[in-house]
Amino acid sequence: MVVERLSSAEVGELINIGSGEEVSIASLPRSCERPSTRMRGRTCEIVWDTSRPNGTPRKLLDSSRIRALGWAPLTPLAEGLARAYDDYLSGLE
């Protein structure tokens, strides 16, 4: 596999794409446990390493520039997670 590196001039302008809704890192794995997004009945234990730093207090993309271009998300996070997981499983078959 050949990987090319692009210069900043070739990349162009970068625009954040996000829902505009803040999602905490703690809530992300919990969203996989909800009945509407349960990952094919699998269960898992969430273990937090409290010896590590928490990171930044807020994790929210500023999506105002892409929204100004008329873009808006169509897939809710929980549905997107479930669809991504199904896609992952289909690649294992």
What one-character DSSP code corresponds to residue 73? -
What's the pLDDT at 1? Answer: 60
Position 14 in a domain: no
Position 4 in a domain: no
What's the pLDDT at 68? Answer: 92
Position 3 in a domain: no
Counted domains in the chain: 1
Position 71 in a domain: yes
Domain holding 72, by residue range, is 26-47+61-93
% of the chain beyond a pLDDT of 70: 74
Position 39 in a domain: yes
Confidence of residue 30 (pLDDT cuts 50, 70, 90): confident
Evaluated on CA atoms 78, 81, 82, 83, the torsion sign reads positive
Position 40 in a domain: yes
Write the pLDDT tens digit of every residue in 37-64.
556 666 667 777 888 777 766 678 888 9
Position 74 in a domain: yes
